[in-house]
Structure 1
C-alpha cells in the first residue's frame, strides 16, 4: 500500500511537471488571488470589530448627552455648582455627589498607594523567588472579589470597628475633618473600603513597572554598597515614576466608578459636610439608589447628567493613566 501511494505521488508530480508552463502560472495566480481575497476579508472583519468598540463608546456618550439634555438645558452650568439635590423640589445640583466621589477616592488613594508601593517593592526586591509568584497571584485575586462582598464586609465588620476603635481616636485630634459623632458609616468608611478594592490594581501595575528596570542598574547600585531602600529610591523610582503615576491613576479610575461597596457604607445622605465621619453620597451611589423610583420629568435627566459627569471624569483619568503607562513601557523598550 505504501509503495502504491509513493508511485501515485510520483505520477502526480510528474504530471504537474509536464503540464504547460502557462497552466501552472494561471493556477498560481488563481491561488494568489484567493489568498489575497481571504486576507482582505480578514482585515475588514478585524477592523469592523475594532470600529465596533469606538461605535459603542460614541453611542454611550451620545445617549448620555441626549438623555441628560433636559436637565442641562434647565439648570445649565448651575447643575455643576449647585449644592442642593432635592427630588421633592425638583432642584438638582451635582456638588454633593461630586464631592463625595472625589473625597472617597482621595481617601482610598491616600491609603492604597503606600500599601501598594510596599507590596510591589517586596515582590520585586525582597521576596524569595518561590513566594513571589504565589503572593502576586494572591494580590491579583483580590481584584476578582465582587464589590458587593466588600460592601457587606465594610458594613458589618469594618464599620463597627472604625466606630469603636478608630474614629474616637481621630476625633480626639480636634481637626474639623474628624468632627462629629463616630457613626461607623460615612465618607471615611467608604474611602477605607475603596482603598482595599484599589490596592490589587495599583500594586499589580507598580510591580509590573518595577520589573522593567534593567537589572544592571540595580546590580550596579548594590555593588556600590547601596541598601535596598536606596536602590528603590534612587534607581527604581526615578526610572519608573511615569508608570507608577499611571498605575495610581488607574486605581483612581477604579475608585471613581465603584457603586455597590460605596452604597453600603457611605450613608447615602444628600448633604455637604466638612467632616469625613458624616454620611454623604457619591455619583455612583446616587444613581443606584434613585434611578428606579425617579420621576421621568426632570429627575431622570438629572441622574443621566450625573452619569455623563462621571463618564467624562473617568474617561479622562483612565486616558491619562494609559498614556503614562505607555510612556513608561516605551522608555523601558517594551
Structure 2
C-alpha cells in the first residue's frame, strides 16, 4: 500500500505591495521636511549653475570689448600695452608662466603630499601623527601674502646655492642655465607654490587613505604582503580617485595664486628658455599688479586674460572628472 504525504509550504505568504506607497515614492518626497530639503538642494544646484553662467557671460562681454580694440594678436602677442593708441596686448607670456609654474608646483608637491599622507595614516604612531596633521592643517590657513613675504625675504636669498648647483651640473640643458642674477624666476615661484598647495593635497589624501576598508589591508597581510605591498595593492588603488581630486584642488590654487607670485617674481613680458632667469608672469599676478592703475580699456584687457584663466580652470576640472570617471573601479563607492 502506497502512503503519500502532502507537503506544505511553511513560509508565510508574501505581503501585498502597497501600490499607493509605491506611487508616492515614485513622485518624490511626501513629508514637508523632505519637500523643503529637496527644494533647497535643487535650488542650490540651479543657483550655482546660474552664477557660473553669469560669470562666463560677464567675462565674455568685457573680453570681447577689449579684444575688438586690440591691435596685436591676443593669443600670441608678448607685450602688454593697453595705454597705446591703438592698444596692443596678448597673453602668450602670461599663459606660459601660469602653466610652467603650476607644472613645477605639482611635480614637487604631489609626491611629497602623498608620501606624507601615507606616513601619517599607515606608518607614524598615533602620538606623532596627530601633532603633524595639526601643523599641516595650520599651514593651509596661512594667508598668501605671508607666504609671499617669506618667499621674498627667506626663500629667494637662499635659492642661490640651488641655482648655482643646477647651473653647474644641468646648465648644459639650457633649461637650468643661470647667469648669476637674482633668483626671482619661475623655478622659485614653482617651489613657493608647491609649499602653498602641499597642505591641501596632504589633508585630502590623508582623509581618503583613512577610508580604506580595513578588511582589504588585513587580507593582504594575511597573504604575506609587506607593509609597502599593502600600500601598493590596497591603499593606493582605493585612494587613486581621491588623490586626483586633491591634486586638482591644489592645481586650482596654483593657477590662481596672486600675491605670493607678485611678491617673489620679477615680471617681464618675455619668455625665458631657462627656468632660472628672471622674467615671465602669470594671469593672476598680472591682474593684481595692474588692475589698480588700469584705464577702462586696460581693465577690459585684464578681464579678457581672466576669462582665459577661467577657461583653463574649467578644462582642468573637466579633465580631472574624466580621469576619475574612467577609473570608477578604484573609487571607494565600489569597495
* TMscore range, shorter length: 0.7 to 0.9
1:324: how far off?
A: 5.6
Structure 2 vs 1, CA of residues 41 and 221 (structure 1 numbering), >3 Å: closer, same or farther? closer
Paired with 2:41 and 2:188, the residues of 1 have a C-alpha distance of 45
1:185-229 deviation per Cα after TM superposition (whole angstroms, max 9, x unaligned): 111111111000110111122212222322222222223333222
Question: Which deviations, in whole Å up to 9, do the C-alpha atoms of 1:281-319 show, x marking residues without a partner?
Answer: 10000001111122323x322211110011111123234
Q: Give the Cα–Cα distance (whole angstroms) in 1 for the partners of residues 305 and 39 of structure 2.
A: 37
Change (3 A) 1:76 1:42: farther
1:168 aligns with 2:167: no
Structure 1 or 2: more helix by fraction: 1
- Of 55, 62, 74, the match for 1:60: 55
- Paired residue for 2:156, among 154, 159, 164? 159
Report the CA distance shift for 1:328/1:194 in structure 2 as closer, same or farther (over 3 A).
Answer: farther
State the secondary structure of the residue aligned to 1:172: helix
User: Contact 2:98–2:282 (CA<8 Å) still a contact in 1?
Assistant: yes
Cα distance in 2 for residues equivalent to 1:159 and 1:38? 57
Moved more, 117-126 or 37-46: 37-46
Give the SS at the match of 1:80: coil
Write out per-residue CA displacement over residues 32-79 of structure 1, whole angstroms, 9 at most, x where no aligned residue: xxx977875665455444433322222211111111112333459931
Kindly report the root-mean-square deviation, in angstroms, between the aligned alpha carbons of the 2 structures: 2.6
SS at 2:175's partner residue? helix
The one-character-per-residue Cα deviations of 1:71-117 (angstroms, maximum 9, x if unpaired) are: 33345993123333334542111110011101111111111012101
Corresponding position of 1:316: 315
Alignment partner, residue 25 of structure 1: none
Q: Does 1:86 align with 2:84?
A: no
Counterpart in the other structure of 1:268: 267
- Looking at structure 2, the residues matched to 45 and 122 of structure 1 have their Cα atoms a distance apart, in angstroms, of 40
Preserved contact between residue 85 and residue 91 of structure 1 (Cα < 8 Å)? yes
TM-score (norm 1): 0.80
2:241–2:331 contact (8 Å) kept in structure 1: no
Alignment partner of 1:127 out of 124, 129, 135: 124
Aligned residue pair count: 298
Could you tell me the TM-score, scaled by structure 2's length?
A: 0.80
Q: Could you say what secondary structure the match of 2:268 adopts? A: coil
Structure 2 gap ranges (5+) = 1-29
Identify the residue that residue 291 of structure 1 maps to in structure 2: 291
Following the alignment from structure 2 to structure 1, what is the Cα–Cα distance between the partners of residues 40 and 218?
48
SS in 1 for 2:296: coil
The alpha-carbon deviation at position 323 of structure 1 amounts to: 6.5
After superposition, residues 128-143 of structure 1 pair within 5 angstroms as 128-143=125-140
CA distance in 1, matches of 2:67, 2:194: 33
